[in-house]
Structure 1
């Protein structure tokens, strides 16, 4: 009994030919027994916008066939863009992914459907995956009567310590007890049915190196306490540190993988006030503007450091690690060869240290193992 599970972060296919973006990494995901990727945006022909913030435009449904052809077996979908194109967007995305041969989890016609895990058996090992959105907006959440995503509600509290008007507050984040219990109960139930449990969490402050907020530790560790063998994070569009908690790996953020879009860089002639406001806020909040030489990759320059998470499962347990990758000038995530990969591995170790994590990193062939 020996299988390999791999996982990557955000996948957005809204620009160019998606097949070429997967080409450098596809040999690794195809060779995996189970490969997991996060489907960030709706794949639908629906065009009616349901989002209240800057929405994602629809992606072509057939592009999910390209993702499947690159070796992906499971698409996690719970995220802040899940309901951007309404009920039809939710259901079309699920149908397109399953039509391409991938299992999905995290969204559905109602909350019960959104919380159904994806389960696959490979080499006699049953692998179960759940997906939860921790970043809102609440319009994305499924209910008993509404399509959307599975979620954990996170509360933000601002405390002005010295009461001086205009001073920046101390910010505290923590999980709503009821929705956290909803997640942990789903994990406990899945734990009884499978050999390996992977939990995907859409979480984290965007576009900012190293930062891991309080609620991220709370929700990730609660998942492990409930029975998860590994937690994989995404949403912030930049790598986060890696933690080992009770012997289980928590990838706090796998960053971008295939992530190409023209939706976040407004055309100078565009009349979209929302996109223009977003471009200004991006500089104010995150301190960067996209590289004009990469129009389809409007993300932080450090986000080009990325990785493929690896879980090797055998009779002795699970050995976790990652394969360092670099997003090249064409926005393709490329697994790095010896002599090139050390800089990305060092970056991931550095952001882990800056987040206060004491994880140990060591090379094992082409994989950086964590302990």
Structure 2
């Protein structure tokens, strides 16, 4: 019997040192991580080695750049395998992502989700331990155009970048609403401006069929009832699925990491496409799907007795301690004096009154520790984590096991988020919870 343990976490935005502080509750977290066969986190920061250049209008509202030494801090905390596909992976452009790869390879840290071209970014990384092996595939649905890796052609090399999970959104409108949109399209002159495209293509690209219209960068489709839906790019799903099938043959455990900011009907629910994607990954052979991106917790689903964590929030958040700010970001805030990194982040957050600082749920998370026997999920212990909500900027953002009161609140809320998926989370008296698994 092969018994393996795996710790999961969300976004790791480390920009300073001593991620595990002298607080005994922080040391307790480190012990949890070090005691597992594998400990995963999503590396959402670029460890700058000096080759890259800041990308204008980086997805997510600014660059997340740190000294390469943060990688040593992350591994010292206990993390042993990294997902790298996310909307900050290319904050320093192609050279920056190549630098990240060089640094992680030099330190022999397993990572997935970025590569010198699309085939490399798609591939799993295999991590071997005395008790067994893990395959990790990392992808992202949130990124700027051009951040996705591209395949080589017979004439040109591929483009370095991340493993993309593209998706599309469609607004469903009634026939009467569609008629109104077509009227706006015609009377404002938008349709006339597509004359050249109609001449070259032989059809109007904004009206591919009588019941569909693309306008203002949005896709509309006629339907009986208004609504909004998102769907995965089938080619991306098929290509990622091929690597899941491959990994299933070559590792004891297969995990898919997906970075997705896109919400469903509420911020606490994932986009429709993400749930479809997660189910497909399990169908193809994945044992775990772990999500992150929205910086808050979302629920967990047991699909075919395999866990899908739709978001594990943050495990480290030192965004406001980043010390390297591009000129375009400085220009976004008004200031009467010379800006420094600290003043920039203070202005950006209105001195703690907006963005992440005032929201308690941003500073709370969970680290699940999963136990597998011969690939079957035996149990899932949930460790509530808090990151210092309300503390000064230089003190918050580093993780520790939550105290009894906060732990109960975090687990109770997580149980609420999980209910719609039919799974059950129990809240224990010892500061931990359990994801109820059949037979546990």
User: Structure 1 pair 38/92, CA: closer, same or farther in 2 (3 Å)?
Assistant: same
Instruction: Choose from 36, 39, 48 the match for 2:53.
Output: 48
Report the equivalent of 1:63: 70
Offset at 1:332?
Answer: 2.4
Q: Which residue of 2 aligns with 1:39?
A: 43
Q: TM-score, normalised by structure 2?
A: 0.72
Is 1:217 equivalent to 2:275 in the alignment? yes
TM-score where L is the length of structure 1: 0.85
- In the TM superposition, what are the counterparts of 1:64-213 in structure 2 within 5 Å? 64-144=71-151, 145-161=158-174, 163=177, 170-205=227-262, 209-213=267-271
Is 1:345 the equivalent of 2:358? no
In structure 2, how many angstroms separate the alpha carbons of the residues matched to 1:367 and 1:310?
11
Alpha-carbon distance change, 171 to 295 in structure 1, aligned in 2, over 3 angstroms: closer
- CA distance in 2 between partners of 1:35 and 1:325 (Å): 15
Q: What do the CA deviations read for 1:310-332 (whole angstroms, capped 9, x no partner)?
A: 21122472133421112223222
CA distance, structure 2, for counterparts of residue 192 and residue 296 of structure 1:
44
Instruction: Name the structure where strand makes up a greater proportion of residues.
Output: 1
Question: Helix, strand or coil for the counterpart of 2:126?
Answer: strand
How far did 1:103 drift?
0.5
- Secondary structure in 2 aligned to 1:25? helix
Change (3 A) 1:316 1:233: closer
**Alignment length, in residue pairs?**
354
Whether the aligned pair in 1 keeps the contact of 2:386 and 2:402 (CA below 8 Å) is yes
Does structure 1 conserve the Cα–Cα contact (< 8 Å) formed by 2:312 and 2:365?
yes
- How far apart are residue 206 of structure 1 and its match? 6.6
Provide Cα deviations, 1:159-208, integer angstroms capped at 9, x if missing partner: 33462779x97321100111110111111111111111011001133797
Q: CA RMSD in A?
A: 3.2
Which string of whole-angstrom CA distances, capped at 9 and with x for unpartnered residues, describes residues 268-312 of structure 1? Answer: xx9734467xxxxxxxxxxxx959469996473322220112211
The question of 1:25 aligning with 2:29 is answered: yes
User: Counterpart of 2:368?
Assistant: 309
1:244 corresponds in structure 2 to 302
**Aligned twin of 1:9:** 10
Larger radius of gyration: 2
1:232 matched to which residue of 2?
290
Q: Given that residues 64 and 319 in structure 2 are in contact (C-alpha distance below 8 angstroms), is that contact kept between their aligned partners in structure 1?
A: no
